[in-house]
Amino acid sequence: MGTTSFLKKARALLRIRNQLVRECLAELLAVFVLILITLSGSAQMVTSSRTKGNILTAYLAGALAVMVAIYMAGGVSGAHLNPAFSLAMCLLEQFPWWKLPIFVAVQTSGAFMSAGAVYALYYDAIQRYSNGTLTTSGPWETASIFATYPADYLSLSNGFLDQVMGTALLIMGILAILDTRNKGVPKGLEPVAVALLVFSIEVSMGSNCGCPMNPARDFGPRLFTYIAGWGAEVFRWVEGRRRGG
């Protein structure tokens, strides 16, 4: 009896009643899980020299991570997971503008923390693969585990177009999936449909820049690599940059 009473009091004490705080925590946790799985798929591929994964397994990990993240936060925050999607919701007047900077900060923070977790998880593998030298280019680069970098041939203008087109397609596809006036996805399977959409974009548009489609997913981990030792090169566009992996 005493234990039951204590647990009830503990739950009441820990329960978060503020809706905004609940949404932020849900968004933070969902983005953390999304990026944790996504970057781990890349880390396994790169550090094993593609013997324990390839580009398709990395894309599949990222797509399934989207599904898991939406199931985690969809009922609380709407599982935006992406500043670009939050912005689109504001433009469509389905999300208040005052919440946009809060969600962007939370999403970016979740991605940053997740990059740190992946770095800790794969620390030994990264050090062995790179011989202890953290670089953004060359045959033993490891920066691409965490953020996306342009292919050797890509120009700045073409890279910009690549990011705009991929992100726009993602947002239009999600809006179409959620539009009740369309042929509906069976209730509860919307996250699966979004995951398939992400996977289809990745396997068709991923060769130019890696297809991040999510500013938080790219900037948060990129900022982490800057702090963790990869240096300012992570923020520089270098046309013809050689990448390894």
- pLDDT at residue 241, as a whole number: 54
Phi, psi of 57 (to 5 degrees): -65, -35
Query: CA-to-CA distance for 231 and 134, rounded, in angstroms?
Result: 9
Q: Calculate mean pLDDT across residues 39-53.
A: 94
Unique residue bearing structure tokens 């050797």: 152
- Please choose, from the candidates 102, 69, 67, 100, the residue with its C-alpha nearest in 3D space to the C-alpha of residue 85: 100
Using a pLDDT cut of 70, give the percent of the chain over it: 91
CATH class of 19-235: mainly alpha
Maximum separation of any 2 CA atoms in the chain, in Å = 69
**pLDDT by residue (tens digit) across 155-213?**
889 988 998 999 999 999 999 998 888 887 888 899 999 999 999 999 999 899 888 88
Closest CA to 197 of 182, 209, 185, 180: 185
pLDDT in tens, 102-152: 999 999 999 999 999 999 999 999 999 999 899 988 889 999 999 988 888
